[in-house]
Amino acid sequence: MIAHLEPITGRYVNLEIEGAPVRIYFEEAGTGTPVLCFHTAGADNRQWRHILNDEALTSRYRFIAPDMPRHGKSLPPEGWQTEEYLLTTETYISTVLAFADALGLDKPIYAGCSMGGRIALQLALRHPSRFSGFIAIEASDFQPAWYDIDWFHRPDAPGGEMGAALVSANIAPQAPSVERWNTQWMFMQSGPGVFRGDLSFYTRDDSLVGQLHRIDTKRAPVHLLVGEYDLTCTPEDALRTADAIDGATCDVMPGIGHFPMSEHPEAFRPHFVAALERMP
Amino acid sequence: MTPQQVFPRLQEMQASHNDRPHLARLGALFSETVLLEVDTVEHYLTFEKGKLVLLAEGPSRKTPWRFALRTDADALDRFWSALPEPGFHDIFGLVKLNRGRIDGDILCLVKNLRFFKEFMALGRQEAAG
């Protein structure tokens, strides 16, 4: 067997988020237009592994995929051991902006999935001048939880494995088995309380409701992608959201669930390529 | 599928289930009775350390159960199709579509979620023959 060395490189950047020093791990590949790629709740940047390995795309784009603090190889901020982790929209936005500044990125495209997709819409509303466009994957203004987030951080049960079993509901049956299980592995590996803390803002912050009409897609385009098997952000949720944003577009992806780039990279690719082509 | 066709399917699933060592490992701490109610037909599934040791049809007022999955025959038939439609691909999808309901100790289900979902999905393989 011939060893295959992937073109992805991983590095760490030390920066401050809301006054606290953090060490962020990120992976990148490619040259050209920068594209920030943010992962879902309870997972990490490995969800983007196939896009970062796509040579036809990395010849035109520089994909940069960070691990949010506490996720993947990014350590938590000092003092985490006595804090209850509850991510907020404000902290997520601060993280994205601080990371883009730290890398000196000039108006990157922002692509994010699930909670990262929700933040795409928040950034489009609050910071459109910082980005050239937004790809909001499995994103909507808001949808209530159909589960109890406290299930995923208990002393008597493995939160990661329970989270993986729950999110398997969001993976389409068409997903190749190896990618289905790779996708769940990341949830199984997530740190204690991380999935719950991510979901706390995702399932409770409804601050986008009634605000979508204020997003100006002439300043930066917004394109939504949603999988037809997504139970959490359903096609109806995404289409409703796109309809409320003047100029936004939405693409429903057949045979795909909530983790498109990870669970079924081959089916996701053409939709993502079309989304990139909509960006300036 | 009629509600009466569920029990023979469960019997086939029982054999498949007990042939899978990884399910016994996943369910090593799972010794509970589960009620699967299809329309009004009750099925009691008793697991012992991950093995499905007893299948019994209701009705029964004497059989205690830890949690129940209640659905209808059409929804279960669609759930067990080789390529289920969106929403019918997962037990929580049935709940979200208002075609299923989970009662009882849902935390017990969630703690053993992969185990129970993989058991329920065996009905697809049995349907495919």
pLDDT in tens, B81-99: 999 999 999 999 999 999 9
Question: What is the rounded end-to-end Cα distance, in angstroms, of chain B?
Answer: 15
Which DSSP string corresponds to B44-109?
Answer: EEEEETTEEEEEEE---SS---SEEEEE-HHHHHHHTSSSPPTTTTSHHHHHHTTSEEEEE-HHHH
What does the pLDDT read at residue A204?
92
pLDDT confidence bin for A238, thresholds 50/70/90: very high
Using the Cβ of B127 and the Cβ atoms of chain A, whether some distance falls under 8 Å is answered with: no
What does the pLDDT read at residue A246?
98
The yes or no reply on domain A9-278 and CATH 1.10.600.10 is no
* Mean pLDDT of the B47-71 span: 96
Please indicate whether, in this complex, the C-beta atoms of A172 and B95 are within 8 angstroms of each other. Answer: no
User: Of A153-157, A169-173, A247-251, B45-49, which gets the smallest average pLDDT?
Assistant: A153-157
What does the pLDDT read at residue A146?
84
Nearest-angstrom CA–CA distance, A63 and A151? 34
Pairing of strands A61-66, A222-227: unpaired
Residue A32, number of CB atoms within 10 A of its CB: 12
Which residue of B23, B80, B81, B90 to mutate against A (max A Cβ within 10 Å)?
A: B90
Secondary structure class of A68 (helix, strand, coil): coil
Is ipTM over 0.85? yes
Mean model confidence pLDDT for chain A: 97
What does the pLDDT read at residue B91?
98
For A94, residues 6+ apart whose C-beta sits below 8 A from its C-beta are A17, A18
What does the pLDDT read at residue B129?
54
Min distance A17 CA to chain B CA atoms (Å): 35
Q: Which residues of A touch B93 (CB under 8 A)?
A: 169, 231
Q: Write out the two tokens for A122.
A: 């928040």
* Mean pLDDT of the B108-127 span: 93
Nearest-angstrom CA–CA distance, A166 and A135? 25
CB contact at 8 A, A134 and A222: yes
Using the Cβ of B49 and the Cβ atoms of chain A, whether some distance falls under 8 Å is answered with: no
Per DSSP (E only), the strands in A52-170 are 61-66, 109-113, 133-137
Is pLDDT above 90 for B125? no
Residue of A nearest to B109 (CA): A162
Nearest-angstrom CA–CA distance, B125 and B129? 6
pLDDT confidence bin for A144, thresholds 50/70/90: confident
At the topology level, CATH places domain B3-128 in: Nonspecific Lipid-transfer Protein; Chain A (3.30.1050)
Nearest-angstrom CA–CA distance, A63 and A265? 15
Please indicate whether, in this complex, the C-beta atoms of B111 and A157 are within 8 angstroms of each other. Answer: yes
What does the pLDDT read at residue A111?
98
Q: Which residues of B touch A157 (CB under 8 A)?
A: 110-111
Omega of the bond leading into B59 within 30 degrees of 0 (cis): yes
What does the pLDDT read at residue A247?
98
Q: Which residues of B touch A172 (CB under 8 A)?
A: 86, 89
Using the Cβ of B7 and the Cβ atoms of chain A, whether some distance falls under 8 Å is answered with: no
Q: Which residues of B touch A231 (CB under 8 A)?
A: 87, 90, 92-93, 96
Min distance B59 CA to chain A CA atoms (Å): 30
